[in-house]
Amino acid sequence: MSAKYVFVTGGVVSSLGKGIISSSLAKLLQSRNLRVTIQKFDPYLNVDPGTLNPYEHGECFVTEDGAETDLDLGHYERFLNIYTSRANNVTTGKIYRTVIDKERQGAYLGKTVQIIPHITDEIKRRMLLLGKSGQYDVIITEIGGTVGDIESLPFIEAMRQLQWELPDEDCLVIHLTLVPYLSAAKELKSKPTQHSVKLLQQDGVQPDILICRTEHKLSMELRKKLALFCNVRPNAVIESIDADTIYKVPLMMRDEKLDEIVLEKFGLNDTPEPDLEGWKAFLDRLAHPEANITVALVGKYVELQDAYKSILEAFIHAGAANRCKVKVVPIHSEYLTEDNVEEKLAGMDGILIAPGFGERGLEGKIKAVRYAREKGVPFFGICLGMQMAVVEFARNVLGLKDAMSTEVEANTANPVIDLMADQKTTTVKGGTMRLGAYKCQIEEGSLAYRIYGKPLISERHRHRYELNNDYVARLNEAGMRTSGRNPETGLVEIVEIPEHPFFIGVQFHPEYKSTPENPQPIFVAFVKAALEYNKSRQK
Ligand code: GLN
């Protein structure tokens, strides 16, 4: 069977949840034994989102092969329980870079290099790449941005061309739109969707399916009206009503028969019925918690939920695994002071210090670590959070008052966190951190060993700095164990304090690999420890 391509576009407004819709359709098709992957085409000029501030575009998600990508790839992995890769996220910056490099090499000698055909050819090549690998039956391509944007036009044009180049039964376009409710008129309005589809049609693309984001149910009358004006069949007007959890959306799309409509167009009539038992079991655990805990997420991008997307999702998975509802309270590290740290953290059953870059909020993070360490509150530090746990320990236990990371204090006398050797000569910022999956050897008898239940693990990374090995002996002697190391380089990957009920810091980002069907072990153990701490405080 040739690979089938689904394109997902968005109209009317941004933030409609194309990523969740794409993931939900993918989940349904995967549950029918099809091999599915999802890719995202982003219309900005950054080569990847690694150089973007999280305020701009939310979390930067890191793949196994070390690509810094859009946070939607996190949703793809969580829903499908498979890994994505560098090839799954393409930006306008990547496309132009390839074309311009080729032009310099003389690949187009004698020709004027143009958006059509050169840029669109490169877009099409990348759109078909995963399909050509033979690994997948269905490739869902999410086109970032909103139809009508100048910057996404070349993507829409490439998709238009592919609609004609691919056999009709191999290609399908979904348009996700908003059907707003006007409370004064007590009515759902179809006009924005009609306009949005017209914009697509002007660009030569006729969607096969409309998915309508709405706060109220769509009547059959409204579906028929949308179908009539937008050239789709009434059963291809799909309702996507607001859900209390994104993980319900696959079941809602199943109720709307989205998978059946897609399979019909593809002529795939003999796939088995969806098997969603594992997914439903997760949703059941999620819906019926037996306990509640509150954990602090100490970071500097807390105003924006999306900045720590994978961490928040990992708590949902770990909560369900423990049959416990985890309330995550964002705490702004910039405003944590000596005077208020106790008051702000008093009600917490666990404290997580988030990853991050730069100086802002660092002292607040160090104060939060000290509080957790001294009060015996379950502690989990990720990347920068782990680094600040080491700084705090060096300052307040080893007595090295000026201990700091050279990321913010280049000339500190006690650089307990320092630039990795191979980073010292790196000047280019984009894509040059220690990125992607690396192995970690865990010491037997450690907390990390109990958590993972095995000596060799692999987790994803995104950092330039590391624990300075010159300080390891002193840290160990004073009670901070370095329980995990990279077997090739000896870089410290995990620190813990055996005296403490639950204190772990990891240089890697365990949140990236957590999924509903495979909750990440440290998150599961941290939630369990927080639950125990909560119970012990009730006594
Ligand atoms: N800024 C730190 C480093 O580069 C930590 C990075 C992170 O938390 N992802 O090492």
Q: Which element (helix H / strand E) includes 133?
A: none
Q: From the CA of 97, how far away is ligand 1's center (Å)?
A: 27
Average pLDDT over residues 464-470: 95
Spatial distance between the Cα atoms of 432 and 46, rounded to a whole number of angstroms: 15
Q: Are strands 89-91 and 181-182 parallel, antiparallel or unpaired?
A: unpaired
Give the position, in ligand 1's atom list, of the atom nearest the Cα of 433.
4
- Asked about 509 being catalytic, the answer comes back as yes
Give the position, in ligand 1's atom list, of the atom nearest the Cα of 358.
1
Q: Is the pLDDT of residue 1 over 80?
A: no
pLDDT at 448: 98
- Annotated catalytic residue, options 60, 212, 383, 440: 383
Q: From the CA of 328, how far away is ligand 1's center (Å)?
A: 22
Spatial distance between the Cα atoms of 341 and 364, rounded to a whole number of angstroms: 8
Ligand 1, from 68, 301, 462: best to mutate by most atoms within 8 Å of Cβ?
Answer: 462
pLDDT at 361: 87
| pLDDT per residue as tens digits for the range 368-411 | 999 999 999 999 999 999 999 999 999 999 999 999 999 999 99
pLDDT at 53: 84
Average pLDDT over residues 320-334: 96
CB 355 within 8 A of CB 537: no
Q: Where does the pLDDT of residue 326 fall: very low under 50, low under 70, confident under 90, or very high at 90 and above? A: very high
Q: Is the pLDDT of residue 325 over 90?
A: yes
Ligand 1, from 68, 422, 426, 465: best to mutate by most atoms within 8 Å of Cβ?
Answer: 465
CB 214 within 8 A of CB 208: no
Residue type, 267: G
Q: From the CA of 125, how far away is ligand 1's center (Å)?
A: 34
Give, to the nearest 10 degrees, the angle between helix 362-375 and helix 384-396: 70
Average pLDDT over residues 117-122: 97
pLDDT at 146: 93
| pLDDT per residue as tens digits for the range 14-69 | 889 999 999 999 999 999 999 999 999 999 999 988 888 888 888 999 999 999 99
pLDDT at 426: 83
Spatial distance between the Cα atoms of 312 and 505, rounded to a whole number of angstroms: 18
CA 4 from centroid of its chain's CA atoms = 25
Q: Is residue 329 classed as helix, strand or coil in its secondary structure?
A: strand
Residue type, 384: L
Q: Are strands 415-419 and 465-467 parallel, antiparallel or unpaired?
A: antiparallel
- Asked about 60 being catalytic, the answer comes back as no
Q: From the CA of 428, how far away is ligand 1's center (Å)?
A: 16
pLDDT at 303: 81
| pLDDT per residue as tens digits for the range 217-261 | 999 999 999 999 999 999 999 999 999 999 999 999 999 999 999
| Full DSSP string of 459-527 | EEEEESEEE-GGGHHHHHHHT-EEEEE-TTT--EEEEE-TTSSSEEEESS-GGGG-BTTB--HHHHHHH
Q: Which of 311, 302, 352, 336 is nearest to 54 (CA)?
A: 302
Give the position, in ligand 1's atom list, of the atom nearest the Cα of 356.
8
Measured by CA distance, the residue closest to atom 6 of ligand 1 is: 463
- Annotated catalytic residue, options 142, 392, 466, 511: 511
Ligand 1 shell residues, CB under 6 Å: 355-357, 383-384, 407, 462-465
306, two tokens: 């999306």
pTM: 0.95
Q: From the CA of 464, how far away is ligand 1's center (Å)?
A: 6
Q: Which of 352-361, 377-386, 478-487 has the lowest mean pLDDT?
A: 352-361
Give the position, in ligand 1's atom list, of the atom nearest the Cα of 357.
1
Spatial distance between the Cα atoms of 434 and 462, rounded to a whole number of angstroms: 5
Buried b (16+ CB within 10 A) or exposed e, 182-202: eeeeeebebeebeebbebbee
Q: From the CA of 331, how far away is ligand 1's center (Å)?
A: 19
- Asked about 383 being catalytic, the answer comes back as yes
Measured by CA distance, the residue closest to atom 3 of ligand 1 is: 463
Report the share of the chain in percent with pLDDT over 70.
100
